[in-house]
Structure 1
């Protein structure tokens, strides 16, 4: 009966407009909805011409997703963003597939495990995997904690699956699809044979899933990890023996004498270094905020303020909904500020993380900036991480803008009802 119902669904959908899923290749957040669609018979097209991340920044895509992130599902009725909302929509489109479980209690259990995947498994999974995939900088402490947190989540699954074939009930549901999709990359890259020995029930369940025809239609093959992958670290330059080094230096010196090499190009000056001298000194401003209580520092700052030589901005992170773990959010900010090192000569800033410690977040990242020059320096926009932060110029004559700037610069311990979790000065 189920197969006949799904067959009828396919016929109906093939005659209607296909759904379009915007994503990048191998995105586990999209894979789960594509697998669910195989069970429900919903036809979903992933356009080859969609380019990530370039197209995400376009106004056309912003109309589909105001948060400008993927995946996004375009339906005949409109667009949906957030991966679990898309997953649930795919399941609800054909209820007879029973991906949401049977009775109301079972449906509640499915939702429970969807939340477990989103908040307990996926955040540490990403911190462990992303440095290996090249998505983020490796942090030894964070990676170690992430591995432990993944093992804790897998231990919960291991115990749960002791006498069960699937997560909820006697057939595959969204709970299996969400958890299984999130575990594909870990099973391929970091869960080696020794690691899997601790989680035999999870491994048995996972291999059952990936051998289902609906899964193979989306992920044709999964090769279980033989050796745990680690991040690629830059190779250290080998030291030459002293005698060899001296010979090489002599050879290079002789070559330099023999050849008439063109003179080295004169290093171009930074346009910000060519600006008229300002009475306001940025280094003094940094020391002022480091060494004085905020109210006193703010008064000194305004007394010295030079609107001709500097400009003020606030910034807000575009993907705060993904900041569900406190230390990961802190690491995200630290990595960004490290990569802004070339900006230090031309800016002072204060970056805030708002949220309740040890909660599920979301943690909010925003900042206040003092930039040399009339606009945002190239050194800020040149950093790839900066594109994920929305900038807004500050007019001190506007009381609302001024109040927000002062709050983010260090004057507030709460923002939009959220307590301050961490504050980092950029100086």
Structure 2
């Protein structure tokens, strides 16, 4: 019986990717909670309720439907994997564990030392960075030699070894391994590209763009990420300074909480420029509607509020349908496909709302949904990161005053109705809020 449960994390956590990709292969039904209000990183994971289940308070953390709780990404990935991913024989299982350990002990440290300064979350140290580059070369050489006569790290099929090492190499391939640097490691490149282009990987990672130019340390960005210190309003006398120093010593402030490398990456995420900032001000408050939708009756409260306040000049409504229903197999995997899309659109939340539904049964299903966007055009082309999934759908703009639009809004927002345009039974749904 396949594992089922909830994974707590934050958006784009590469450690969580290991478990999510493994679940794509094994058939485990993993629900992801990564954004407010369901999960607020830095707050939810510090509550007594969370710490009772996961004493360390780290993410990712997994809670099974049977109540089983586990933390640490490698352990979670192992738990949601199939026997084939873990290694069918005793020897294969040991080899998988070998590469999983290798990723943490040999790849993560130099990768962090090299990549983090380019993300503005660590001070640049030339000597440390040069040493890290040499370590990365050593690792790539070792992997290249191993993969010279192999398609995958262990056996003839993808295992948890491949999933783990690929996820650990992600930041290197995205940030610093420019074509000239990675060129000598053809076997590694072939293996990496093969893996990330598998449907199970793409369902979680999307289309991965390899580094074109090696990222460098950005001193300005690093300075912006440092905590600001307020300057004193007046000069202190030597006596006042001595008194202040003594008082500071007595105070003994608690040390700041240390973040692991994943959390540091999240904390130092580049500041986001709102592509909707130049649009005329709208009278429709998406936040206000979402509060109604989340907390009150959909048909009696949320929908009347929506139509009473909807600004058809400042917002638009679109119907979307998945282009390739023949490729859909298990319905829970289709739901994971939608979840992955929503995760990659996290920064669009304030300017969009969507209800996307899977209709039908295993091997006979379809995906369609209704989207509300700020402005009169599709929002996806505004930001490259938003373009990963949208071309897999057909998009049709609806006229808000039409009977068709009114019906679709009612059915998709409430998950109730005839859905005559679909012709298949309602199965599962996902809401982007």
Deviations 1:234-258 (A, max 9, x none): 29xxxxxxxxxxxxxxxxxxxxxxx
1:343-362 matches, within 5 Å, as none
Aligned partners of 1:276, 1:187: CA distance in 2, in Å? 51
Counterpart for residue 64 of structure 1: 53
RMSD over aligned Cα atoms: 3.3
Correspondence for 2:179 among 193, 199, 204:
193
More contact order relative to length (CA 8 Å, sep ≥ 6): 2
Q: Secondary structure at the match of 2:69?
A: strand
Aligned partners of 1:191, 1:211: CA distance in 2, in Å? 18
Distance 1:52 1:231, change over 3 A: farther
Distance 1:137 1:68, change over 3 A: farther
Aligned partners of 2:218, 2:209: CA distance in 1, in Å? 21
Q: 1:140 Cα deviation (Å)?
A: 2.2
Q: 1:269 Cα deviation (Å)?
A: 8.7
Counterpart for residue 73 of structure 2: 83
Counterpart for residue 27 of structure 1: 13
1:70-109 matches, within 5 Å, as 70-75=59-64, 76-91=66-81, 94-95=82-83, 98-109=84-95
Counterpart for residue 260 of structure 1: none
Aligned partners of 2:198, 2:213: CA distance in 1, in Å? 26
Correspondence for 2:250 among 272, 292, 311:
311
> Greater CA radius of gyration, 1 or 2?
1
Question: How many residue pairs were aligned?
Answer: 247
Counterpart for residue 164 of structure 1: 150
Aligned partners of 2:242, 2:110: CA distance in 1, in Å? 49
Scaled by the length of structure 1, the TM-score of the pair is 0.52
Q: 1:67 Cα deviation (Å)?
A: 2.2
Distance 1:276 1:164, change over 3 A: closer
Counterpart for residue 167 of structure 2: 181
- Asked if 1 retains the 8 angstrom alpha-carbon contact of 2:120 and 2:219, the reply is no
Q: 1:315 Cα deviation (Å)?
A: 6.4
- Asked if 2 retains the 8 angstrom alpha-carbon contact of 1:184 and 1:222, the reply is no
Correspondence for 2:41 among 35, 52, 59:
52
1:9-408 matches, within 5 Å, as 9=2, 18-47=4-33, 48-49=35-36, 50-75=39-64, 76-91=66-81, 94-95=82-83, 98-234=84-220, 267=233, 311=250
Distance 1:108 1:126, change over 3 A: same
Q: 1:209 Cα deviation (Å)?
A: 0.3
Q: 1:185 Cα deviation (Å)?
A: 2.2
Q: 1:86 Cα deviation (Å)?
A: 1.0
Counterpart for residue 363 of structure 2: none
Distance 1:155 1:310, change over 3 A: closer
Q: Secondary structure at the match of 1:187?
A: helix
Regions of 4+ moved over 6 Å: 273-276, 314-320
Distance 1:195 1:57, change over 3 A: same
Q: What runs of 5+ residues in structure 2 fail to find an aligned partner?
A: 222-230, 262-433
Distance 1:206 1:122, change over 3 A: same
